[in-house]
């Protein structure tokens, strides 16, 4: 096939535009800065705790993983009370940190946004940079002039860790990600999260019912969707006892709420709230029932009683934790499932992890139907609501001298299905909050 000159020019322009709008410009800038700083890399030394004045946490995590890593922010403030703490995260998450939890300042950046990388490079040098996620961000950390870079060990591609000074082994025993994230920093475990650590944004323009339950039907993958008929049956049980139902989903997920057929007196917030607004809504809820997704972890930092539906995900990793002991959390779902057999976390093989990363679809290696989610019955959820109502706050108080015992985290229980009547649901809603 012969190309005309116009076709050739169009092809070149298309690929040039793709390169400019991709990761290449940012990577080229980082590489050039590294060339300038490279002769001085051998002089780097780990600063003493009293010498640490500027600390940066650097990541590109999804919302849920980032919120669970709040324990790292708490521990950094605990270990370096006088240091300037900064967080470089995806642009969509920055608004959440507007109230400056733990006194940090949040900065937006993205690998495809050249301007955001340039703004980071203009900042003053950091004493310590902590990488939460992929260690390839160590190249950016070193370009920022970091004196010491810390990340987790175990990445399969060893070149990504070339410029990381200290590699922390990932937990070798079953541990919640919220508690593992804090191990990047030396010292005792941080005290459990309190709502006063992260002030709520006001909700002046929203009128909310007095007693309502948030039912979040969305998820980052179709393999985590709970059947719409189950949501519909659960909402009916809640309405019988006078509880208002507030339906929630993410942008582009309105079809999920349409499928559950909300009643006229239900409140529907279909991706129309900002993250700070949604957090404030969750903080006032009697309970939040959600799939294993970012909104569930937003409920944790809102202090809302939380019931999570676990299908392909790991309750051990993403359920209750020592750090969020003051936020009651229960998981519902099959304790074991045949295809929940992929032992991987943050691009690292972890032997004890049991989860499923398979995408939804009909092809090879895909999940045609999420049977693990369909296995969660409405009776399971109602039973968990009763257990949640009896869960004491602060069930796992931090010991001042030790890391929490692994594998014995608060409120981690599996629920056995049972038949429950309206009277039991009334007891649940009268006792939660």
Give the per-residue pLDDT at 4: 64
The residue among 375 and 426 whose pLDDT is bigger is 375
Give the per-residue pLDDT at 18: 56
Indicate whether 424 pLDDT > 60: no
SS3 294: helix
Q: What rounded mean pLDDT belongs to the chain?
A: 86
pLDDT more than 70, % of the chain: 85
pLDDT one-digit tens code per residue, 355-401: 998 988 888 888 888 899 999 999 999 999 988 876 554 443 333 33
Model confidence band, residue 305 (pLDDT cutoffs 50, 70, 90): very high
pLDDT one-digit tens code per residue, 131-146: 999 999 999 999 999 9
Give the per-residue pLDDT at 361: 86
Cα 59 to chain centroid, rounded: 12
- Size of the chain, expressed as the number of residues it contains: 433
Q: Distance between CA 227 and CA 249 in Å, rounded?
A: 14
The residue among 42 and 362 whose pLDDT is bigger is 362
Q: CATH number for the 212-395+411-431 domain, one of 3.40.50.2000, 3.40.710.10, 3.40.50.300, 3.40.50.12280?
A: 3.40.50.2000
**Strand ranges in 123-207 using DSSP code E only, listed in sequence order:** 128-131, 148-152, 166-168
Q: Distance between CA 167 and CA 154 in Å, rounded?
A: 8
Give the per-residue pLDDT at 1: 46
* Both structure tokens of 109: 């950046």
Model confidence band, residue 430 (pLDDT cutoffs 50, 70, 90): low
Give the per-residue pLDDT at 182: 97
**Do 182 and 189 touch, CB atoms closer than 8 A?**
yes
Give the per-residue pLDDT at 142: 94
Q: Distance between CA 411 and CA 391 in Å, rounded?
A: 7
* Both structure tokens of 284: 């006032």
Element (H, E) at 287: strand 287-291
pLDDT one-digit tens code per residue, 170-205: 999 999 999 999 999 999 999 999 999 999 988 777
pLDDT one-digit tens code per residue, 233-273: 999 999 987 889 999 999 889 999 999 999 999 999 988 89
Rounded to two decimals, the pTM is 0.86
pLDDT one-digit tens code per residue, 99-121: 999 999 999 999 999 999 999 99
pLDDT one-digit tens code per residue, 1-26: 455 665 655 555 555 555 556 788 89
50-64, 66-80, 89-103, 353-367 — which is least confidently predicted? 353-367
When computed from its CA atoms, the radius of gyration of the chain, rounded to whole angstroms, is: 23
Return the closest-CA partner of residue 29 out of 91, 96, 120: 120
Domain borders along the chain are: 21-191, 212-395+411-431
Helices (H), 122-260: 137-143, 177-181, 228-240, 254-260
Cβ burial, residue 373 (10 Å; 0-12/13-18/19+): buried
> 89: number of CA atoms within 13 Å, CB side?
24
Return the closest-CA partner of residue 310 out of 288, 336, 328, 284: 336
pLDDT one-digit tens code per residue, 147-164: 999 999 999 888 999 999
CATH 3.40.50.2000 for the 21-191 domain, yes or no: yes
**Do 390 and 431 touch, CB atoms closer than 8 A?**
yes
Q: Distance between CA 354 and CA 92 in Å, rounded?
A: 29
Give the per-residue pLDDT at 321: 96
Give the per-residue pLDDT at 311: 94
Distances 117 to 88, 107, 122, 128 between C-alpha atoms, Å: 10, 10, 9, 18
pLDDT one-digit tens code per residue, 320-332: 999 999 999 999 9
Is 21-191's fold the same as 212-395+411-431's?
Answer: yes
Model confidence band, residue 418 (pLDDT cutoffs 50, 70, 90): very low
Q: Distance between CA 345 and CA 351 in Å, rounded?
A: 10
Helices (H), 341-404: 371-374, 378-390
Return the closest-CA partner of residue 381 out of 233, 198, 278, 271: 233
Give the per-residue pLDDT at 423: 41
Element (H, E) at 253: none
**Do 246 and 321 touch, CB atoms closer than 8 A?**
no
């Amino acid at each position: 096939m012969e190309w005309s000159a116009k076709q050739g020019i169009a092809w070149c322009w298309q690929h040039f535009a793709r390169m400019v709008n991709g990761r290449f410009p940012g990577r080229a800038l980082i590489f050039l800065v590294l060339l300038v700083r490279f002769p001085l890399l051998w002089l780097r030394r780990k600063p003493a705790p009293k010498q640490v004045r500027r600390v940066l946490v650097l990541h590109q995590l999804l919302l849920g993983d980032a919120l669970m890593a709040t324990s790292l922010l708490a521990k950094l403030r605990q270990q370096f009370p006088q240091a300037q703490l900064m967080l470089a995260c995806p642009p969509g998450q920055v608004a959440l940190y507007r109230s400056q939890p733990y006194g940090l300042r949040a900065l937006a950046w993205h690998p495809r946004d050249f301007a955001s990388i340039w703004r980071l490079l203009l900042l003053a040098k950091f004493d310590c940079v902590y990488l939460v996620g992929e260690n390839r961000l160590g190249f950016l950390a070193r370009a920022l002039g970091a004196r010491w870079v810390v990340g987790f060990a175990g990445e399969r591609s060893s070149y990504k860790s070339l410029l990381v000074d200290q590699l922390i082994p990932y937990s070798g025993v079953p541990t919640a990600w919220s508690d593992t994230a804090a191990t990047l920093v030396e010292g005792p475990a941080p005290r459990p999260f309190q709502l006063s650590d992260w002030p709520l944004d006001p909700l002046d323009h929203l009128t909310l019912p007095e007693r309502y339950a948030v039912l979040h039907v969305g998820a980052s993958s179709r393999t985590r969707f709970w059947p719409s008929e189950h949501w519909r049956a659960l909402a009916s049980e809640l309405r019988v006892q006078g509880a208002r139902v507030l339906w929630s989903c993410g942008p582009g997920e309105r079809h999920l709420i349409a499928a559950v057929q909300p009643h006229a007196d239900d409140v529907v917030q279909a991706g129309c709230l900002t993250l700070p607004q949604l957090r404030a809504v969750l903080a006032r809820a009697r309970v939040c029932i959600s799939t294993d997704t970012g909104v569930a972890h937003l409920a944790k930092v809102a202090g809302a009683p939380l019931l999570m539906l676990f299908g392909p995900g790991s309750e051990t990793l993403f359920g209750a934790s020592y750090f969020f002991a003051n936020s009651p959390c229960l998981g519902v779902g099959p304790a074991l499932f045949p295809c929940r057999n992929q032992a991987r976390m943050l691009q690292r093989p972890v032997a004890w992890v049991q989860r499923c990363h398979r995408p939804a679809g009909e092809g090879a290696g895909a999940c045609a139907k999420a049977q693990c989610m369909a296995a969660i019955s409405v009776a399971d959820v109602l039973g968990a609501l009763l257990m949640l109502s009896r869960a004491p706050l602060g069930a796992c108080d931090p010991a001042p001298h030790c890391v929490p015992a692994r594998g014995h985290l608060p409120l981690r229980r599996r629920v056995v299905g049972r038949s429950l009547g309206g009277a039991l649901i009334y007891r649940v809603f009268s006792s939660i909050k």
